Amino acid sequence: MRSQLYYATETLVECTDNGKSIMAHVDRFEAEKYLAVIMNTVKVSLQYNKAFDHYVGSMGGLEFLSKGPKVIGSHR
């Protein structure tokens, strides 16, 4: 039987264009596939990049990266 992992509701997102980072609310998350975050009322969708082990997406001509939310617990 696999353990169910529980993730934080916020994650750090970095803008690669200006080097700034912000804590964003996790709207939707599927480990190693998809991450949707809300930053300052704007929703940004990021796709998992296996080669670099992070999520990447863009909005308004800016690129964003995130390692995704941290695991905060598990349950069997």
Please state whether beta strands 42-49 and 34-39 pair in parallel, antiparallel, or not at all (unpaired).
Answer: antiparallel
Per-residue burial over 23-48, b if 16 or more Cβ lie within 10 Å, else e, is ebebeebeeeeebbbeeeeeebebeb
Look at residue 36 in the predicted model and tell me its pLDDT: 98
Q: Place 75 in a pLDDT band, splitting at 50, 70 and 90.
A: confident
User: Is the predicted pLDDT of residue 1 greater than 80, yes or no?
Assistant: no
> Of 13-17, 47-51, 66-70, 72-76, where does mean pLDDT reach its minimum?
72-76
Cβ pair 11, 64 in contact under 8 A = no
Q: What is the pTM of this model?
A: 0.89
The residue type found at 4 is Q
User: Is the predicted pLDDT of residue 76 greater than 80, yes or no?
Assistant: no
Distance CA(48)–CA(53), nearest Å, equals 7
